Amino acid sequence: MTSILQSFIAGRWHGTEARQPLHSALNNSLIYHTHGEAIDFAEALDYGRTTGLRALMALTFQGRAARLKALALYLMERKEQLYEISRFTGATRPDSWVDVEGGIGTLFAYASMGSRELPSSNVLHEGPALALGKKGGFAGTHILVPRGGVAVHINAFNFPIWGLLEKFAPSFLAAMPCIGKPATATSYVTEALVRMMHASGLLPDGALQLVIGSTGDLLDRLTGFDAVTFTGSADTAAKLRANANLIASSVPFTAEADSLNCAILAPDVTPDDPEFDLFVKEVVREMTGKAGQKCTAIRRIIVPRTQVDAVAERLRERLAKVVVGDPSVEGVRMGALASKDQQRDVGAQVERLLAGNELIYGNALDLVGDGVHEGAFFSPTLIGCANALDNDAVHDVEAFGPVSTLMSYDGIDEALTLAARGKGSLVATLVTKDPATAAYAVPVAASHHGRVLVLDREASVESTGHGSPLPQLKHGGPGRAGGGEELGGIRAVKHFLQRTAVQGSPTMLSAITGEYVRGGAVRESEVHPFRRHFEDLQVGDSLLTHRRTVSEADIVNFGGVSGDYFYMHFDEIAAKDTQFGKRIAHGYFVLSAAAGLFVSPAPGPVLANYGLDNLRFTAPVAIGDTIRARLTCKRKVDRNRTDEQGRGQGVVAWDVQVTNQHDELVASYDILTLVAKKG
């Protein structure tokens, strides 16, 4: 029985008229139709810019991070429903794991990063503030704020869940409503995901809309406050990028395009080394995982000329053991391509690659499973190229399936030249056991690749592999690979924010950023800041301590406690020959003495000190110098957490300035503390 897929537009499910048929990749049976009704994209954009933006802005960065975590937990509990529908795409369970749990894991990752690194507001201060005047009354800094537009995410067919979620997570954190457009061939998986997300009740109204089918005039209606991201073929990326309205309105456009990624076997590796087997395993995994339908898959296998035959033989042996068929059958390791159209396209590209080259492996498939002979299966195919420096096709033509080309090189420089012939790639893998080879090759390869994996026996124990983008690191590449970035931790969130320079007095900058800027107004009272609960503390609450004169006994005692007998603290003669001309106190003694000046020792709301940031010793402290400290509440972040006793708590960063008797700054740093809430 087939059903009609629906778009989710302006808070309602849209579409009842059947249009384009969609078939199972496993047996070509009809499973779904797209809907035929046109979408009112003016309404969709207006809904996102009004209802969606308003709902997202009602939350803070921290609030949205908490929603992402709750949503990830909700989806993880229901993941088997997504696995069930994913099998129609031809994916094996491990293939779907990358898509399903990899996508949900991306939500978890951004929830964690947002909780740790973003403020309890909608203004992200990108400091430090810079003094712009000599008297300290004029300064400048940068803030990042939500753009006020809509993010349009256009995705490829190969990862219908991860593809949406890896773009949705950072844009959601940035308070940018999303319109997701999955590739039609596997859009039924994305629709199931969005229905699940909507049913959770965790998505603010208008935060996510879904387009099934054509984008119509959507791109023509965008403004410079919107953004477009795209994952797919380089040809399609070029067409979208050239949209007249995107150009005229300066709409940010980020592409992550399919590329001819490579794996290089370094000349130091021999067939007797563990790295040799690691290389072969990685190539076969990338050829057969997701049936080769990955933008990161290894398309070019670059090996020393002396090792070509050995590598070819090992690859043939491993590929011959790959069981292809219905992934629900035990023992099947590779499924189908996503559609019959994809099957035809891969076949055509293989014919182009074989012109002037050799077929090393690729045979008639012995498929496993009922009805699979009508499915979109394709044999793992290994092509040999004897003259890769003179053959343009192997560096330009991509068969987006289980297809790779083996080519040889003489010397590491030639290998790097071949890698660069891909004209920009998402990822390259270098397999070597020699750190010197890695140190030479990686900086050269980096100019043409978005990511470089260096694989050896040590890294292999925990390596996530050539084709696994991680949310903490950028995913994207130069040139043919699209020229943009996806993922990349908090950098990806900043992509969807507007960066603005702000100039004014330190007091005004403190008010705007929600973060104390040195030189700004402070509030002093008889109540020690450490005696205030999280809710009662305000940015700018400050304490100027009493003074302490540093003695020789302090230095001697600190040396005895710490074991630090560095000559600058204890050798009068040697110290005279330094830039300071005399013995000075340990920097960490100054830190400890400052803590003794400002700490309120009795039990109170401050629960723990868990770190220092931005520590600098800016001037020496000598015997006889007198120091004091100013402690100021710099930043508050309500992470909505409780301790073991159920007490609420937040994070407070304190600005500390230690000065000497001449009011010169001698030490500067931030202290991070957990501070209890009332009750």
Residues belonging to the active site: 256, 295
- Sequence-ordered list of residues with C-beta below 8 angstroms from that of 354, at least 6 positions apart, any chain: 383
Three-class HEC string of 23-35 = ECCCCCCEEEEEE
**C-alpha span between 478 and 422 (Å, rounded):** 10
Q: What is the DSSP code (8-state) at residue 471?
A: T
Structure-block tokens of residue 629: 């400290």
Question: C-alpha angle 625/626/630, rounded to 5°?
Answer: 135
What's the CA gap between 391 and 294, in Å, rounded? 24
At 364, which amino acid appears?
A
Compute CA distances 591 → 45, 448, 450, 665, whole Å.
Answer: 54, 46, 41, 13
How is residue 451 written in tokens?
């990511």
Cβ atoms of 425 and 448 closer than 8 Å: yes
Residue 636 CA to residue 498 CA, distance in Å, equals 22
The packing angle between helices 61-77 and 79-86, to 10°, is 60
606 phi and psi, to 5 degrees?
-75, 115
Residue type, 27: N
Mapping DSSP to helix (H, G, I), strand (E, B) and coil, where does residue 529 land? helix
The Cα–Cα gap between 404 and 292 comes to 9
Dihedral angle, C-alpha 169, 173, 175, 177, nearest 10 °: 10
Task: Return the C-alpha torsion angle 242, 248, 254, 255, nearest 10.
Answer: 0
Contacts of 581 (CB under 8 A, 6+ apart): 575
Q: From CA 231, how far away is CA 495, in angstroms rounded?
A: 16
Amino acid symbol at 70: A
Query: CA-CA distance, 31 to 33, in Å (whole number)?
Result: 7
Contact criterion met (CB below 8 Å) for 96 and 83: yes
Helix 187-199 / helix 162-173 crossing angle, nearest 10 deg: 40
**Cβ(244)–Cβ(65) under 8 Å?**
no
Radius of gyration of the chain (CA): 30
Which two tokens mark 578?
A: 């330094």
User: What contacts 220, CB < 8 A, 6 or more positions away?
Assistant: 243, 244, 245
Q: Which class for 584: exposed (0-12), middle (13-18), buried (19 or more C-beta within 10 A)? A: buried
73, 33, 170, 76: which is closest to 114 by C-alpha? 170
